[in-house]
């Protein structure tokens, strides 16, 4: 609708001055130019550049001697990368599932005409406003094996309580899950709450007239109508998981050893501190592939939906 | 939606409602607890931390950890506390937010009301910038900043934040300006108003809400950034997140958790304050940035 009106407008001016293009016609293009140049160079150009680097033998400095897929072979032979990828699978999977579960649950609970809803919502969401570095610092202290939650539980009388995940290579990845869920689950709640508020009241009334109980109403009518919110949340959460870098840096610094590394940390370590630019570039390309694998189907379905409207 | 809750209150319903409140409040406690523990820890001295537990109250309120975190704690090789880096963050955030918001407003205005051939395609292409993992641009960007002679400078960081923030700000403004009727712009053009006159007289006066949303979003994003900060800043241009991470991971002698916690709260304070004062706009930015993407 707006689109047509805007097009009609520009058509009118062009009809008035058909032959020469005045400066005025160029203004929109000129003011967009810096962004166009920046996007073409700094998004697409750099992506291609990183792709090129991933096919070279660059180490401390970029070199342009091509070695084919050798860096990718090295990458997938590298134990640290395999650990990082496995961690991403465990961390991402649990993080997404728990956030979705908590988010939906809290949103439904909050949607029952709760007194002081605003205040409670504010409390659930505030972690989203702070940096992952702060979150990591706070949870590093809470999960500290000697002074943290473990000590608190022992003092409370649970003598045998042990909670040393932060120093246990097999369990440390779950510490990342705990901190990340604390930070992001309130956000999922906000998304679903906004979705719940948009559900058609008539539909619910009709269901209840038909004798559907509250649980059936949610399960059969309300939640299915929130499918788009669900997919948005899924995409955003997986995006957060793949990009996670700061949380690991602050909470575990990849340790013990490299047992809690994620791909983003692997990439940074190899490209910037271990002088393995080619390997770092290859790992960045794999990360890009992961994001695109999630994003392209999502954007495709979104754009198709828009056209149908 | 309220219809679901509106049912006759029997005894069972009352019990369920109490359970509901208990559950909600318990969760609120879980979300608040880490911050409360941080605050309590920052007010204790080292001896109290060693002998007490996370939730034990400090014997006396002791702000020495705070003053040390602000102006004396060691972040790597320097021991000037968080203060200089706190200022660095403002030096990065203010210009970066201002420039990216202005560019976003103009771009959104063009994309929604001055379409030209390829502008829609360009918008779609720009959206990709919201989603790429930044690891994929780190290495080329580091080279470029070097060539431009602004590696490790505040200017360099501002540039990086503007370049990768513009995708989001354009998205925000474009979605907002779509709802301004095209007839309005058309009428103004027939009256002879030009591109900038229309922007200044018609568009900007109604833009306040979206400007607030965008500024808050950009402020939070850039203040909380760590990746660009750690990759592109120098020793004396580090933003506060990088300094905090250095402070926590620097350990000469005993670990001072009270100082760590005070420093973490200092680093979180500006964005928390924005959230408390303008939470509504913050949430709108989150959901807009998220759902519309």
Q: pLDDT tens across B97-113, in order?
A: 999 999 999 999 999 98
Same domain, B254 and B125: yes
Q: Are residues B54 and B88 in the same domain?
A: no
In a domain, B6, yes or no: yes
Between these two residues, B292 and B100, which has the higher pLDDT value? B100
Give residue B259's domain range: 83-291
State the smallest CA–CA distance between residue B261 and chain A in angstroms.
Answer: 7
Tokens of A241: 């998981």
d(CA A47, CA A288): 9
pLDDT in tens, A190-248: 999 988 888 887 888 888 888 877 788 888 888 888 888 888 899 889 989 998 999 99
pLDDT at A89: 95
CA-based nearest residue in chain B for residue A122:
B279
Same domain, B161 and B45: no
Tell me, yes or no, whether B68 lies in a domain.
Answer: no
pLDDT for residue B129: 79
* Residue A168 in contact with partner chain B when CB distance is under 8 A: no
Residue B70 lies in a domain: no
Q: Which of A141, A152, A199 sits opposite B41 (nearest CB)?
A: A141
Are residues B218 and B116 part of one domain? yes
In this structure, are residues B122 and A260 in contact, taking their beta carbons and an 8 Å threshold? no
Q: Are residues B87 and B9 in the same domain?
A: no
Mark whether B255 and B285 lie in a shared domain: yes
Nearest to B156 by CA among A156, A59, A86, A42: A42
Does B76 reside within a domain? no
Residue B119, pLDDT > 80, answer yes
Residues 6+ apart with CB under 8 A from A298: A231, A235
Q: What percent of chain A has pLDDT over 90?
A: 44
- Number of domains within chain B: 2
A29 touches chain B (CB under 8 A): yes
Percent of chain B with pLDDT over 70: 94
On whether residue B71 sits in a domain, the answer given is no
Please check the confidence at residue A131 and state whether its pLDDT lies above 70: yes
B78: in domain: no
Q: Is residue B202 assigned to a domain?
A: yes
| Whether residue B116 is found in the same domain as residue B161 | yes
- Assess whether B135 and B273 both reside in one domain: yes
Q: What is the pLDDT of residue A21?
A: 60
User: Per-residue pLDDT tens for A244-270?
Assistant: 999 999 999 887 888 999 999 999 999
- Record: contact A24-B128, CB cut-off 8 A: no
Residue B260: which of A137, A285, A291 has the nearest Cβ?
A: A137
Any CB–CB contact under 8 A between A114 and chain B? yes
pLDDT in tens, B218-267: 999 999 999 999 999 988 899 999 999 998 887 665 678 888 999 999 99
Q: Are residues B171 and B285 in the same domain?
A: yes
Q: B277 and B176, same structural domain?
A: yes
pLDDT, tens digit (0-9, with 9 covering 90-100), for A160-186: 777 888 888 889 999 999 999 999 999
Residue A214 at interface with chain B, using a CB cutoff of 8 Å: yes
CATH number at residue B213: 1.10.3720.10
Strand, helix or coil at B292? Answer: coil
Residue B124's pLDDT band (cuts 50, 70, 90): confident
A28 closest CB neighbour out of B53, B128, B195: B195
pLDDT band for A12, please (50, 70, 90 cuts): very low
Answer whether A197 touches B (CB < 8 Å): yes
What are chain A's domains? 1-54 (no CATH), 74-308 (1.10.3720.10)
B73 is a domain residue: no
Using a CB-CB cut-off of 8 Å, the residues of chain A touching B116 are: 10, 28-29
Do B244 and A133 count as a contact with CB atoms less than 8 A apart? yes
Q: How large is the ipTM?
A: 0.89
Token duo for residue B95:
């210009």
In B43-81, which ranges are continuous DSSP H helix? 46-51, 64-71
Q: Per-residue pLDDT tens for A56-75?
A: 988 888 778 888 888 899 99
The answer to whether residues B244 and B282 belong to one domain is yes
CA distances from B87 to B5, B70, B235, B240, B243 (A): 49, 11, 14, 8, 11
* Interface probe, candidates A11, A15, A28, chain B, greatest B C-beta count within 10 A: A28
Same structural domain, B47 and B93: no
Chain A, nearest residue to B218 by Cα: A129
Q: Which two tokens stand for residue A111?
A: 């949607």
The answer to whether residues A151 and A103 touch, using CB atoms and an 8 Å cutoff, is no
Structure tokens at A79: 């134990």
């Amino acid at each position: 609708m707006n689109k047509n009106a805007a097009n009609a407008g520009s058509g009118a001016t062009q009809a008035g001055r058909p032959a020469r293009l005045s400066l005025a016609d160029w203004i929109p293009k000129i003011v967009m130019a810096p962004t166009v140049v920046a996007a073409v160079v700094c998004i697409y150009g750099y992506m291609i550049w990183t792709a090129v680097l991933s096919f070279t033998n660059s180490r401390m400095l970029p070199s342009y001697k091509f070695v084919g897929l050798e860096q990718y072979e090295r990458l997938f032979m590298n134990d640290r990368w395999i650990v990082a990828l496995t961690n991403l699978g465990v961390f991402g999977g649990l993080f997404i599932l728990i956030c979705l579960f908590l988010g939906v649950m809290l949103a439904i609970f909050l949607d029952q005409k709760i007194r002081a809803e605003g205040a409670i919502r504010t409390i659930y969401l505030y972690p989203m406003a702070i940096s992952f570095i702060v979150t990591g610092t706070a949870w590093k202290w809470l999960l500290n094996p000697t002074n943290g939650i473990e000590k608190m539980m022992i003092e409370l009388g649970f003598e045998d309580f042990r909670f040393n995940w932060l120093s246990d290579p097999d369990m440390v990845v779950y510490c990342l899950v705990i901190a990340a869920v604390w930070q992001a689950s309130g956000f999922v709640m906000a998304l679903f709450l906004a979705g719940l508020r948009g559900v058609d009241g008539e539909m619910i009334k009709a269901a209840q007239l038909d004798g559907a109980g509250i649980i059936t109403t949610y399960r059969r009518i309300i939640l299915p109508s929130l499918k788009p919110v669900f997919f948005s949340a899924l995409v955003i959460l997986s995006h957060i998981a793949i990009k996670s870098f700061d949380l690991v840096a602050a909470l575990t610094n990849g340790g013990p050893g490299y047992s809690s590394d994620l791909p983003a940390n692997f990439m940074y370590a190899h490209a910037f501190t271990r002088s393995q630019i080619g390997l770092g570039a290859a790992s960045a390309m794999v990360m890009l592939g992961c994001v695109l694998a999630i994003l392209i189907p999502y954007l495709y379905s979104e754009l198709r939906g828009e056209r149908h409207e | 939606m309220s219809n679901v809750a509106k049912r006759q209150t029997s005894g069972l319903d009352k019990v369920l409602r109490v359970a509901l409140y208990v559950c909600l409040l318990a969760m609120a406690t879980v979300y608040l607890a880490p911050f409360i523990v941080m605050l309590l820890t920052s007010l204790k001295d080292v001896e109290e931390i060693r002998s007490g537990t996370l939730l034990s109250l400090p014997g006396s309120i002791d702000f020495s950890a705070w003053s040390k975190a602000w102006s004396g704690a060691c972040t790597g090789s320097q021991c000037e506390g968080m203060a200089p880096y706190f200022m660095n963050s403002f030096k990065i955030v203010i210009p970066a937010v201002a420039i990216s918001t202005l560019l976003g407003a103009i771009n959104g205005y063009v994309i929604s009301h001055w379409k030209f051939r390829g502008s829609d395609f360009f918008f779609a292409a720009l959206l990709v910038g919201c989603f790429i993992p930044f690891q994929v641009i780190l290495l080329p960007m580091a080279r470029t900043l070097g060539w431009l002679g602004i590696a490790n400078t505040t200017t360099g960081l501002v540039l990086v934040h503007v370049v990768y923030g513009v995708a989001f700000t354009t998205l925000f403004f474009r979605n907002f300006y779509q709802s301004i009727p095209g007839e309005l712009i058309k009428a103004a053009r027939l009256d002879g108003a030009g591109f900038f006159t229309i922007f200044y007289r018609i568009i900007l006066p109604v833009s306040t809400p979206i400007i607030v949303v965008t500024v808050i979003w950009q402020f939070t994003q850039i203040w909380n950034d760590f990746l660009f900060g750690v990759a592109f800043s120098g020793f004396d241009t580090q933003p506060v997140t990088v300094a905090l991470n250095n402070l926590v991971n620097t350990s000469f002698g005993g670990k001072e958790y009270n100082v760590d916690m005070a420093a973490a709260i200092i680093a979180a304070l500006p964005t928390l304050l924005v959230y408390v004062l303008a939470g509504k706009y913050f949430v709108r930015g989150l959901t807009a940035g998220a759902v519309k993407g």
